[in-house]
Amino acid sequence: MSEDPREQSLSVLTLNAWALPWSRHRRRRLRALTEWLRERGDDLVGLQEMWGGSLQHVAHRVQHGRERRDSGLAVGGHLELRDRPRVRAFRRARGPDALKGKGVLSAVARLGEDSAIRVLVTHLQAGWRHGDVRAHQVDEILERTQAAADLPTVLIGDFNLHAEHAEDERSHRRLLSAGFRDVAEETGATEPTFHSANRYVVGRGRAERFDRIYVRCGRHVALEAVEAAVLEHEHPLSDHHPLWARLVARTRDP
């Protein structure tokens, strides 16, 4: 925590927990995730693929976001939420993704006594061939953020954006054009979060930086990325590695 009362240090984490009912070692990994989150004490945590009641196995400051369908999205951390998280499913999805309620979870957390921060957790369409769907989903995310531009915003999750994919690169650039900044790019922590060094990934495709943290300043609060890292474990928590960042929120003079 900074000594300046106008500054607040924030620890932010995102992880695709790979908690499909049939995924390998699911309960063991979720128990390990619970203990790990408790030890870490991050301020904001975004989780994806918390399918099929997985949250009951992660009993640590984490709330699901649900609509009519299971979104797999959850948010947690030590910052107090103003109200219950809400989820809006994407209007466009393809293949198996269309069977679930993938979309955007939205919550507002208290940031000190007089300010707040918006956190968005998302999980975009999977698959190299579906860059056009991801592009539409990014448009939907940007639609949701236009109405709340006054608040500082943290946008985290599994974006499934592929390197060397023209449509995905355009989607990334649209986020940047809307005022978001890629924390990993700013801090040089651009290692892949999905790669074959993880035993759960072997034989499942090329290394990719699927998991991302984007930030955008608000009218009265600026967000600065100080450091970030891909957190690898000897016994992986998922087929994705967590992405962590330390931010500083600075209150601007009126």
Q: Using CA atoms, how far apart are residues 123 and 125, in angstroms rounded to an integer?
A: 7
What's the pLDDT at 98?
Answer: 87
Note the helical H segments in the chain.
26-40, 131-146, 166-177, 183-187
pLDDT at res. 190: 97
Residues 217, 80: Cα–Cα separation, whole Å:
20
pLDDT of residue 228: 98
- The CA-based angle 230-232-235, given to 5 degrees, is 155
Instruction: Provide the token pair at 202.
Output: 């072997």
3-state secondary structure of 173: helix
Give residue 176's pLDDT. 98
One pLDDT digit (tens) per residue for the chain, 254 residues: 445 668 999 999 999 999 988 899 999 999 999 999 999 999 999 999 988 777 666 655 676 665 567 888 999 999 999 988 999 999 999 998 988 889 999 999 999 878 899 999 999 999 999 999 999 999 999 998 887 779 999 999 999 999 999 999 999 999 999 999 999 999 999 999 999 999 999 888 789 999 999 999 999 999 999 999 999 999 999 999 999 999 999 998 76
What span, in angstroms and rounded, lies between the C-alpha atoms of 254 and 251? 9
- Spatial separation of the C-alpha atoms in residues 224 and 247, rounded to whole Å: 5
Can you tell me the distance from the alpha carbon of 161 to that of 144, in angstroms, rounded to the nearest whole number? 20
The CATH number of the domain covering residues in 7-251: 3.60.10.10
> Is residue 240 within 8 Å of residue 5, measured between CB atoms?
no
**pLDDT value, residue 25:** 95
Distances (CA, A) of 27 to 14, 24, 43, 55, 117: 19, 9, 24, 11, 32
The first and second tokens of residue 146, run together, are 């236009």
Domain ranges of the chain: 7-251
Q: Are strands 115-123 and 153-158 parallel, antiparallel or unpaired?
A: parallel
